[in-house]
Amino acid sequence: MASQNLFIGSLAYATTDDTLKAFFEQIGEVESARVITDRDSGRSKGFGFVEFKNEADNQKAVDSLDGKELDGRAISVGLARPKEDRPKRDFGGNDRGGNGGGQGGSFRQRSW
């Protein structure tokens, strides 16, 4: 079974994988630290994930670092939910690519 990740929210755009890892190493040895970035712009999306080598450090990190400041922002720290537990996103339910019910995009049809 894969070890539990921590979800880190409210990250500053300046936060990098390295600064995130260094911040969490005050709790214990970090296996990985990733700031999630936009695939097109490369800019941070403002959240990331941290995985400790020792899973017991997860709760210590939540208790100690939730609400603490990193790169000028108060971050939120919590246990990440596994991918399969997240609800499937529904963008309108039509068969034509999710453009608002097949009515021609974002413009509402007039009824008169």
pLDDT tens for each residue of 5-52: 999 999 999 999 999 999 999 999 999 999 999 999 999 999 999 999
pTM of the model: 0.73
C-alpha to C-alpha distance for 8 and 10, rounded to whole angstroms: 7
Give residue for tokens 């300046």: 14
What pLDDT, on a 0 to 100 scale, did the predictor assign at position 104? 55
Average confidence score pLDDT of the chain: 86
Four-CA torsion 9, 4, 65, 37, nearest 10 degrees = -30
CATH topology of domain 6-84: Alpha-Beta Plaits (3.30.70)
Report residue 1's pLDDT band, with 50, 70 and 90 as the boundaries. Answer: very low
